Chains A and B, each alone.
Chain A
Amino acid sequence: MADRIIKVNAYTTFNLLDGEAEGHGWTEAALAVLNVTTDDGDVRLELELDNTDTDRVPAHAERATLSPEQARELAGELESYADRAERDE
């Protein structure tokens, strides 16, 4: 098994989430790490599913870079979807 890619310590945003990878005709579930950090003036979102639970994909982490403006937009969306999710319960 390969080592983790994303470093994990007490400052990592989430170290225990339910994750899922989906391809054409397949899905795999795995526990996941999700972290928010900065990178040279941008905000970076990084996600890694435990490679011990994903056979279809090689060990890897995904990253997306957001501008501070986009990060705030995401924050807004997260808030409103959290409200919606609560109503759906």
Chain B
Amino acid sequence: MPTDVERWKDEVYGNEIREHLFRFAEEGWDAIPDDEADAWFERFKWWGLYHQRKGQESYFMMRIGTPNGVLEPGQLRTVAEIADEYARGPVDNPEFGAAYCDWTTRQSIQLHWIKLEDVPEIFEKLEANDLSTQQACGDSWRNIVGCPVAGKDTHEHIDAWPVAEELHETFKGDDEYANLPRKWKVSVTGCDQGCGQGDINDLAFEPAEKHGELGFNVRIGGGLSRKEPRLARDVDIWVPEEKATDIAAATTELFNDHGDREDRYNARIKFLVDEWGAEKMRRVLQEDYTDWDLETAGEDLRDQYTYNAGGHEHGDHVGVHEQPDGNYYVGLNVLVGRMGVEATSELADLAEEYGSGEVRLTQRQNVIVTDIPEEDLDDFLAADLLDDYSPDPHPFMRGSIACTGTEFCSLSIVETKNRQVRYARWLKENVDVPAGVTDFHIHLSGCTASCAQPQIADVSLRGMKTRKDGEPVEALDIGLGGGLGENPHFAEWVEMRVPADEVPGYIQNLLDTYEAEREDEETFREFIQRHEEDALQELADPEETDYDDPYMHNTKMTWYPYAEDDDMGSSPAPTNGDGEPISADD
């Protein structure tokens, strides 16, 4: 029995949504018939528009898909200008101001408070600058991720950027691949550090050598969500660079044909790989979807992976690094991936003045300015902006990832970004950094959808609720010791429902125990993995400290967590194209 979503997609999906989107934009929010709203919201996702949550009706999150996180010269400025003009809501965010840009864990860009009525103008401006929201969300090829410095990296064995670019050009906008059973996440890595995070993608290309030639090993079926995290499985296939698009097409077609369209919760290819096993997956690909003899896997570089590997930490390209051409790229730390528009503009200015204008986004929500000549480095590093977005951040200010949370997302149970900012600051002020720790990965996800990739962090936090002093308060489940690297490992969940204001105290206690009990120079991840499950719970207790959390109340029941009058009934939404409340009895 096809799902509602499948029926809606059958009626209208893909490129043809655009004309309807523009029609509604012209007629206004009110023109969307109530009984068709769900269907249209589902379809708008294909064009990167995600309706914000209850209390914020008529406002959209807009996701711009930038393959491999590459923003060509001029594009960051375009994004800043669009955010400045269109991404302003009825209330400011107390931490980040009136308008801001989010860099995501898939190297894309998210803007909020977008009005439907402004979409045609926004698209025009984006497209004039070679940017697009096409298929940024929805059941289709999502933004392709990879090592953010592909093509400019002294660690790369194969330049993955042309491959990512070709995949993007080939599959985005192609009607044949526009309607898949579910989202389709692809990663292409060419470096020896594992920065592409292939392990958690549906389809992963990793550098590997076969009969003296450099190409890619293929892995299939990774993904974190729905409480069923999976690592991409080795299907024993190697392709030369020129066959990457062909095998991608084959795998997409297999997913299209065999992915479950009856149960959206069973639709990701990870479940198909569970069911079939890697061998059958390979066989079906060979027999039914490819017209050349698939080679077996080549020799990979996994034993050299340092990205999110838990020790000798890669650090997500933050800092100053030389490029093969003798210029430098500088990675800047962006706490929880959000920058105000002024800062974003300034960053665009600096990139233009000191680099080539190019900026790249990472999967840890950070930014990189590339192509800075050696003689200009000192001046660049002296820029005021780098006080807030540092190439040399404090270990606790570094390594934080937070999802959108109850601020905008209808799935989340708790507030996330502002909270994680407060956690990081408190830890920096109050906790000694254990020796050898250069960054400490804390990933905060508002629910089990896992958009902040909680399963692969030193400390994983996931939204929940508990009772404290008789009142329901925001709380977090806590997991420990997750990460990628040569031996990827998901976090062990050790605490449930820790009141949000006791989490910093817990982390402080945990790190005290780590310092006191670590053997030799074992990394935090090694320390955690040395302990049995039961022993992990004994490592630390939650504790109230002088940490103060202003979001303990049920923020998902507010219309906006930071509004002075946050009661749902006080919401101005829905509003018209000018942001004026639409009267309910119109």
Q: Which of A50-72 contact B (CB under 8 A)?
A: 50-53
B448 surroundings in chain A (CB, below 8 A)? 4, 7-9
B1 touches A40 (CB 8 A): yes
Q: Which residue of A lies closest to B494 (CB)?
A: A1
> Complex formed: what's the CA distance from A6 to B472 in Å?
20
A to B contact number (C-beta, < 8 Å): 68
A50 surroundings in chain B (CB, below 8 A)? 496-497
A10 touches B410 (CB 8 A): yes
In the complex, how many angstroms separate the beta carbon of A33 from the nearest chain B beta carbon?
Answer: 9
Interface of B is mostly: mixed
Tell which of B1, B412, B447, B492 touches A41, judged by Cβ atoms closer than 8 Å.
Answer: B1
A8 surroundings in chain B (CB, below 8 A)? 413, 447-448, 463-464
B537 within 8 A of A: yes
A41 surroundings in chain B (CB, below 8 A)? 1
> Complex formed: what's the CA distance from A50 to B495 in Å?
10
Q: Which of A34-89 contact B (CB under 8 A)?
A: 40-41, 50-53
B465 touches A1 (CB 8 A): no
Known: A16-B465, A16-B472. A3 touches B493 (CB 8 A): yes
> Complex formed: what's the CA distance from A51 to B492 in Å?
13
> Complex formed: what's the CA distance from A62 to B526 in Å?
35
Interface of A is mostly: loop
12 new A-B contacts at CB < 8 Å, known A10-B53, A15-B465: A1-B537, A2-B493, A3-B227, A4-B477, A7-B226, A7-B448, A7-B449, A8-B448, A10-B556, A16-B472, A31-B496, A50-B497
A16 surroundings in chain B (CB, below 8 A)? 465-467, 472
In the complex, how many angstroms separate the beta carbon of A46 from the nearest chain B beta carbon?
Answer: 12
> Complex formed: what's the CA distance from A3 to B477 in Å?
9
Q: Which residue of B lies closest to A50 (CB)?
A: B496
Size of A's binding interface in residues, CB under 8 A: 20
A15 surroundings in chain B (CB, below 8 A)? 413, 464-465
> Complex formed: what's the CA distance from A51 to B497 in Å?
11
> Complex formed: what's the CA distance from A16 to B447 in Å?
14
Known: A5-B227, A9-B449, A10-B413. A52 touches B467 (CB 8 A): no
Most buried by A among B410, B496, B497: B496
B533 within 8 A of A: yes
B383 within 8 A of A: no
> Complex formed: what's the CA distance from A4 to B227 in Å?
8
B479 within 8 A of A: yes
A26 surroundings in chain B (CB, below 8 A)? none
A1 touches B492 (CB 8 A): yes
Size of B's binding interface in residues, CB under 8 A: 32
A1 touches B493 (CB 8 A): yes
A1 touches B536 (CB 8 A): yes
CB-CB nearest 4 A-B residue pairs: A9-B447, A7-B448, A16-B465, A9-B411
Q: Which of B265-318 contact A (CB under 8 A)?
A: none
Q: Which residue of B lies closest to A3 (CB)?
A: B493
B463 surroundings in chain A (CB, below 8 A)? 8
Known: A7-B448, A10-B447. A1 touches B495 (CB 8 A): yes
Binding site for A on B (CB under 8 A): 1, 53, 226-227, 263, 406, 410-413, 446-449, 463-467, 472, 477, 479, 492-497, 533, 536-537, 556
A52 surroundings in chain B (CB, below 8 A)? 495-496, 537
B406 surroundings in chain A (CB, below 8 A)? 10
B496 surroundings in chain A (CB, below 8 A)? 1, 4, 31, 50-53
B411 touches A10 (CB 8 A): yes
Q: Would you give the 0/1 interface string for A8-27, flagging 1 where the beta carbon is closer than 8 Å to chain B? A: 11110001100000000000
A1 surroundings in chain B (CB, below 8 A)? 492-496, 533, 536-537
B495 surroundings in chain A (CB, below 8 A)? 1, 52
> Complex formed: what's the CA distance from A50 to B475 in Å?
13
Most buried by B among A4, A8, A11, A51: A8
In the complex, how many angstroms separate the beta carbon of B479 from the nearest chain A beta carbon?
Answer: 7
B227 surroundings in chain A (CB, below 8 A)? 3-7
In the complex, how many angstroms separate the beta carbon of B411 from the nearest chain A beta carbon?
Answer: 4
Q: Which residue of A lies closest to B478 (CB)?
A: A1
In the complex, how many angstroms separate the beta carbon of B20 from the nearest chain A beta carbon?
Answer: 27
> Complex formed: what's the CA distance from A4 to B494 in Å?
11
A6 surroundings in chain B (CB, below 8 A)? 227
B263 surroundings in chain A (CB, below 8 A)? 40
> Complex formed: what's the CA distance from A36 to B494 in Å?
27
> Complex formed: what's the CA distance from A52 to B495 in Å?
7
B494 touches A9 (CB 8 A): no
Tell which of B53, B446, B493, B536 touches A4, judged by Cβ atoms closer than 8 Å.
Answer: B493
In the complex, how many angstroms separate the beta carbon of A60 from the nearest chain B beta carbon?
Answer: 13
